[in-house]
Amino acid sequence: MRFQEKVALVTGGSRGIGKETAKKLASEGATVAVHYSHAVTKAEDVCAEIYDKYKQKASPFQADISDRDAVNRMVAEVTRELGPIELLVNNAGDVGDMTFDELTPEHWDRIISINLTGPFNVLWSVKDGMIKRKFGRIVNVSSIAALAVRPDQLPYAAAKAGIISLTKSCCRPLAKHNIRINSVAPGAIDTDMLSEVSAEMVEQLRATTPLGRLGEPHEMADVIAYLLSEESSYITGATIIASGGRILIP
């Protein structure tokens, strides 16, 4: 059990990659704080499934991660109810496609606040406790959009590139406190986000992926769990690309 007696906070844990990551960590002994923004019922269902399958404690916690005070309250609540946070998965995000010509400053602000400022807020809220205890493992979820040209996802791609930079820039100052921080850049993953994309686009994504299929959320959860575990004890500041070979292909 790689995460026995560890407390994990998974943001965006009510669906997709976050849900599968919460389940994966619980299956290996972690107590999990399942963060959600609006989908309280889905978060509660994830927690119930975790207890039913693994007999591990999991609780839902709400916060708008773009609101720094709300994040601080959430982290304090998690710590009070479950214990100090030792594992953090910064997964919550929103794509928010909009063409270059349609893009507004207001849309930019919203997407950046969710996908870059939000993860920063959560990281900054948990880091002092990790520093005090001389232990922490952090995984930030980026995207291959950070590595490619995405004019119709301009703020999302910029934010996800920022996540990679944030990860690298935090590596050295955190390492001296026995805190490792890495990121994962998923490709096209079969989550409910794809329900907003046309069937033709989904088929194009599949056809342009060298492995010939979409990724599964549990495959991303496996990568995240590896980066949180001591199996990756000499990896920090890195970004693992998990895209089925689809990296710079449009």
The string of DSSP letters for 65-119 reads TT-HHHHHHHHHHHHHHT----EEEE---------TTT--HHHHHHHHIIIIIHH
CA 112/CA 174 separation, integer angstroms: 24
From the centroid of its chain, how far is CA 158?
16
Active site residue 54: no
Token couple for 224: 């995240």
Are 156 and 96 in contact, with CB atoms under 8 Å apart? Answer: yes
CA 14/CA 133 separation, integer angstroms: 28
Q: Which residues contact 36 (CB under 8 A, 6 or more apart)?
A: 12, 13, 14, 42, 43, 60, 61, 62
Catalytic residue (one of 36, 156, 226, 234): 156
Catalytic residues: 156
